Structures are given as structure tokens and as C-alpha cells.
Structure 1
Amino acid sequence: MEVPIEAETSSFNTYFCLLLANNILQEKGVENGSNTVISPFSFHLLLSLIAVGSKGRTLEQLFHCLGSKSLEDINSLASQMIDLASPFNESSGVPIGEPDLSFVNAAWVAQSLKLKPSFQEIVEGVYHAIAKEVDFANKAEKVVAEVNAWAETATRGLIRNLLTAEALKVINEDTALILANALYFKGTWAQLFDTSKTKQRVFHLLDGEKVHVPFMTSNRFERYLYNRFKFEFEFEASEAMIKMGLDLPFNTRKAEITEMVDPVTGRLFVRKMFHKCFIEVNEEGTEAAASTAVIIEQQQQSV
């Protein structure tokens, strides 16, 4: 099944993906010599949701980062992107021969707060997110377990422990929300690779080092070699976001995330952003998953 992609969506992919990849590779990949795999799709839609709940300079900074000019543009683009997954996300199952693609959003809200009607309308209507009230103050471990179980289920078991021990340390009575999304994809090759033809061959790393890895050979295109691989990558992304120019949402004194919940007694800001991604390419096809979550905290006013 082919799903048309608007030119605007393609334009976003070029701008945002390059901006994100450049900063994260510099921060977490090339310098550490590790394999890096991320999902710009997952990042973009979570940042878009934060934009819906922001105003002022924080919103302007998010516009610049996302390559958008208005909330209408952001929500329209988000709707298009989410709809890309919709044809394959039916409860009736995936048609034989079609890729399995799904994308879901969710929100966990402090039980002392309520989503603002305008924000709730977008969360549920555009992002199709399910919001749930939770007790961050007294049941932090339970909330973390619930978020992790949700992400694991949504990604068919590929993303486990999205929220790490680092997340548990910062969830407390000041936590206002956790926003998260999860993406899953599985597709088979139109023509499967013959496993008997997979051989160890030399692969050249960025630093010039050579390693031997399994390469698959196509029966149809004998001259093309594809390396078989499986990567998993996770990191806390707030520092990378700040370095790419998106600092205001994380600023305890300047963040203007004012349009999400009521009643608040302090300034809302993004405390942590967690991202985890998985991809495996083998003789049968590709299976991949990603999940991103942000912990939004309320900075209490000093007396």
C-alpha cells in the first residue's frame, strides 16, 4: 500500500533530520565511537506536542527548530505524519505482504492537575493520545513501570525500560506530566535474501578501522552487498536539544509552557527527555522501533 507524502512533510524531514542528526552524532555518536540510531519522527512529534502547550519565546524557538511558522502548520503536519501509520494500525490486523507500521501517543498527568481544554482537544483529536491521571508524589515507581510497560507493548517488546533509574530520581511531587510516543515498523523484502549466501566481509569504520561483519547478497542483484546488523541506542536528550538551540523549554526561569495544565503554582519546564531506538536488518527484512518521553516539572516559586 502506498501512502502519499505531502511535499511539506518531505521538506520537514530534510531540515529537521539533518539538524537533529548532526547534533546528536556530535554529542553521542562519533565522539564515542558508538553506533547511533535515532528516530527524528518520534522527536519531532513530541516537540510538536510541547509547542502546542507553549507560548512566547519558547514557542518561537520551537517553531524555528521544527521548521514551522504556526501551530496550525505544526498540527497539520503532525496529523499528516500520524495518518501515515493509520492505514497499517487497524485492529483487524496487518494485510499479508504489507508492512506493519504503528504510532501511538500517551500522557500521564499529575492527579492534582487537569489538562486545559484547548490542549486536551489537540492531544486527543490530533495526536490521538490517551491521558491518564497518576500519583507522581507517592507512586513514582509504579508510574515509571506503567510508562515502560506501555512503550514495550506499543513496540512489540523491542523498547524496554524507556524510563531508566535516572528518570525515577527526578519524578516527585513537582512532576506535572509525562508525555510519550512509540513507533513500530516491520517489513519484509520483496525478494528475500538467501541466508546461505551471507558471508563475513570487511566493513570500514569512520575512524579508518576495519572490522568483519556479515554481508547479505541479493539473488537478483548479485553485485550489491548489504550488511546485516542490529543496533540499539538510548540516551537522555536534553543536553543535545539545548546544543541544537532549543534551550528555553528546559530553562527553569524562562520556559513558557503555560498552555498544558491548570492549576499551576510555578513555571513548567522540561526536566528530562529520554529516547530509545532499535533497528534490525536481516535476510527477511527490517524491524525497527523507537520511543521518546519527556518529564515536565513544575518549578515551585521560592518564598
Structure 2
Amino acid sequence: MRFKMIKLVILVIASAAAVNSQCFYKDDASKKLNPDDRINMYKGQLHFTLDLFNTINKYVPDDNIFFSPFSVYHALLLGYFAAGHQTEQGLKQALKIADSLDKVNLLTAYKVDKRSRAMNNNSDSYEFTNANRMFVDNGLHVRQCLLDLLSGELEALNFQDQPDQARQYINSWVERVTKNNIKDLIPADGISHSTKLVLANAAYFKGVWASKFPAERTKKQVFYVSETRQTLVPFMRQKGIFHYMVNEDLGAQILELPYKGNDISMYILLPPYSMKEGVSNIINNLTPERLAAVVEEGYMGREVVVEIPKFTIERSLELKPILETLGVGDLFNVTSDFSTLTDDRGVVFDDAVHKAKIQVDEEGTVAAAATAIFGFRSSRPAEPSVFIANFPFVYVIYERPTNSILFMGVYRDPKK
């Protein structure tokens, strides 16, 4: 199955504050690099991802969910590099950045990861492109040290005199990186004359199932939205050797559907049909340790009959209240501090939105996402090698080499 995905995160701001002679700390040059810093960055990212998923599910408990935590994390990470004092501390806590991981080492880990992704993108198996940008107003006095450290991420635009042109430029950048999957991310009123900063991340993934679903086997059958409502949707079907397990801690049957190359897989977590809150229970119980048990060990390949819906979902999320719940509300306060970026004062983010799209079919998956910041079934078959996802489930697109969740969602209702 082909899988495409794109993501983008944007924060719209207004100005900034004061800073030290060094870029991050007075003793920047004395910071010793730790070979575990990149691993620690991935660990923090995963903790943030699961917190974000849980929070989003509480805001939309009865709807489909699809988003890119990777996108949201990287947009906020740019904000962390630019922030100072209380804003920096709030972002550090929300992003689960370890106390031992200072900004110097985190930036180094970020750059190593960026280079590694650029070098290791296996075009024969899958394509994954990730891009970050700090779009700053050309009237903002950006500190030279940050210009040097983040030269590949910083780009000046004329927000003050040409706000709509700047908006169109950023939206075009998003479209280009996401190969036209995410359009018009920033709405017409998203950029104003007072905007000083937009933080953006865009990513694109295209993968092919390691074992494709034969198109001739796709047929309509019942999907149970709830105990009282059902609908007909096209289901894809195949029999093959897959990793399959029942995980009591998560309360789910779990199936891995790898993409060609085996670095990235979709995991489907299917709760008991009889449990009304099964999906929410999975999300509540999903910890880094339990996820590791799913992706690293505990189950053998076996012959499984797989039936999953063929679907397309496009979702927009108002991220501001969600981020405020996660503890980064200072981004949207007049007291926000971006003194690492600039000596100018008054930078405040107006809003944060995220847009994502996924298409799952016989060949693979097409997915796109954008963020802007301005045991089981009660009547399951006795044969355990049958996996039929015909009621609400959780799904995760997981990158094994970095232990990163690139996309995740909940499929609850085909009609929404």
C-alpha cells in the first residue's frame, strides 16, 4: 500500500525580548556533547506524542482523529530554540526535554537527525521529507548567532507591508513540500501587519505496503460505528504472514502492516468490540514502554487473514486550547519571551492550527498533515489468525530506527 504523508506546523507571532552575549548560555562553548543526546531527544518526542494524542482524544472523543505529532513537535522545537526564560521552561516541560539535555546539545542532535534523514531517505523503498522554517518579519532584529546556527531554517518575509503575499508564500512552501496535499494552511486572516514570526514544519511520506492488498478482493461490508449504528464501507482483504499479538496491558489486538523497506510500519490497535470506551482506554494506556513492547518484541509472524477499511480522512485541529492544556499557553500570552531569537520585545503567537490528511488503499497510504501556530471482540472468531477491523480502532505510523511516531489517528466513523 502506498503511503503519503505531509505535515506542517506554524506559529504566528508579533515581536521579542532581551538576551545574553552567548547565543543560548554564557558558557555555550564549554558544553560537552553526549552521544546519547539524539536518543534522549527521540525519547522526549515520544513522551510528548502520547501526551498530545491523549489530549486531542479528550477534545474530540466521538470523532475521527488524524494528525502528525512529528510535525507539531518540530514546529514547537523551533519555538524552543528561539524562546527564553519562562517561555523556554514551559516548552521544555511540555516537549519532555530532559534536564540533562541543554539547548546546545539538543540543537546538535536536531542537526544530526536532519542530516541523517537527508542521507538515508531510501527512495527505492519509501520517501520521507521533513522541512522546518522560521519565517521572520524582515523588520525583526534577529540575533546574528541564531542566524548562524539556524541559517537553513530562517527566512525573512515582509509581513508588515505585504502580509497576504507572505501568507501565500508560506502556503506555497507548504504545498511544495507536501506535494500539493496540504493547501491553504494559513487562512486569509492568519497573517497581519503585526505578525513577526511564523514557525513551520512540513513533512511528506510515501510508502508502499510490503504486502499489497489485491484490489479484486476489496468489497463492501459492515462497519460497526457503535452498538446502535452501522454502515457499509469498502474493506480490503488479504492473507499473509504478519506480526500479530493480543496485548492485555493495552486492551487490544495489534497488527503490524509494514511498508516496503521495513523501517516504517502501520500498527492497528483494535479494542474489544464489546467495550464502548475501548479506543479511549487504549490511548490512556499507551505509554512509551508499552509501545516499545509492541514494536520491539513479544510476537511472532503468523498467517493472518486481514480485513481493514479503505479510507480517506482529512482533519483540521484547533491546536491553541490543546497546547494550552499541555502547558505551553505562555506562547499566546503578552508575557511570552523570545529573547534568544531577538532583542525586540512583544512576540506573541496568535493561534495554532493543524491540518492532516491520510488515504489508505490497496497499494499504500497517502497522508498529509499541517500544523499552524499563529481481547477482544465479544463474538470474535475462535481462530486467532483473523484480524477484522470492522469497528473503531487506533492506528499509528511508526518509524522504527528513531522510535518516532510520524502520524497517528482514530478511525471511528466512515461518514465523518
**Which TM-score applies when normalising by structure 1?**
0.81
How far apart, in 2, do the equivalents of 1:44 and 1:12 lie? 10
One-letter code aligned to 1:259:
T
Gaps of 5+ in 1: 296-303
- Whether the 8 Å contact between 1:229 and 1:280 is mirrored in structure 2 is yes
Could you say which structure has the greater relative contact order, defined with CA pairs below 8 angstroms and 6 or more residues apart?
Answer: 2
SS of the residue aligned with 2:186? coil
- Whether the 8 Å contact between 2:239 and 2:306 is mirrored in structure 1 is no
- Whether the 8 Å contact between 1:136 and 1:175 is mirrored in structure 2 is yes
How far apart, in 2, do the equivalents of 1:84 and 1:226 lie? 34
**Superposition deviation, residue 75 in structure 1:** 2.2
Equivalent in 306, 312, 319 of residue 237 of structure 1 = 319
Tell me, yes or no, if structure 1 residue 75 matches structure 2 residue 102: no
The answer for the alignment partner of 2:249 in structure 1 is none
Tell me, yes or no, if structure 1 residue 212 matches structure 2 residue 229: no
How far apart, in 1, do the equivalents of 2:228 and 2:42 lie? 33
Tell me, yes or no, if structure 1 residue 248 matches structure 2 residue 330: yes
How far apart, in 2, do the equivalents of 1:135 and 1:267 lie? 18
How far apart, in 1, do the equivalents of 2:133 and 2:77 lie? 14
SS of the residue aligned with 2:233? strand
Tell me, yes or no, if structure 1 residue 101 matches structure 2 residue 128: yes
SS of the residue aligned with 1:136? coil
Q: Flag the structure with higher helix content.
A: 1
SS of the residue aligned with 2:367? strand
**Superposition deviation, residue 107 in structure 1:** 2.6
The answer for the alignment partner of 1:299 in structure 2 is none
> How do residues 129-208 of structure 1 correspond to structure 2 at under 5 angstroms?
129=153, 131-168=154-191, 171-172=192-193, 174-205=194-225
One-letter code aligned to 2:316:
E
The answer for the alignment partner of 2:149 in structure 1 is 122
The answer for the alignment partner of 1:47 in structure 2 is 76
User: Residues 228, 47 of structure 1: CA spacing in aligned structure 2 closer, same or farther, 3 A cutoff?
Assistant: same
How far apart, in 1, do the equivalents of 2:328 and 2:307 lie? 39
What is the count of residue pairs matched by the alignment?
Answer: 273
Q: Percent same amino acid among aligned pairs?
A: 25
**Superposition deviation, residue 176 in structure 1:** 1.0
- Whether the 8 Å contact between 2:78 and 2:134 is mirrored in structure 1 is no
How far apart, in 1, do the equivalents of 2:56 and 2:112 lie? 26
RMSD of the TM alignment (CA)? 2.4
How far apart, in 2, do the equivalents of 1:206 and 1:9 lie? 39
- Whether the 8 Å contact between 1:48 and 1:74 is mirrored in structure 2 is no
**Superposition deviation, residue 73 in structure 1:** 4.9
The answer for the alignment partner of 1:113 in structure 2 is 140
Equivalent in 357, 369, 377 of residue 278 of structure 1 = 357
Gaps of 5+ in 2: 1-36, 241-302, 375-416
SS of the residue aligned with 1:218? strand
User: Residues 289, 57 of structure 1: CA spacing in aligned structure 2 closer, same or farther, 3 A cutoff?
Assistant: same
User: Residues 227, 56 of structure 1: CA spacing in aligned structure 2 closer, same or farther, 3 A cutoff?
Assistant: same
- Whether the 8 Å contact between 2:164 and 2:188 is mirrored in structure 1 is no
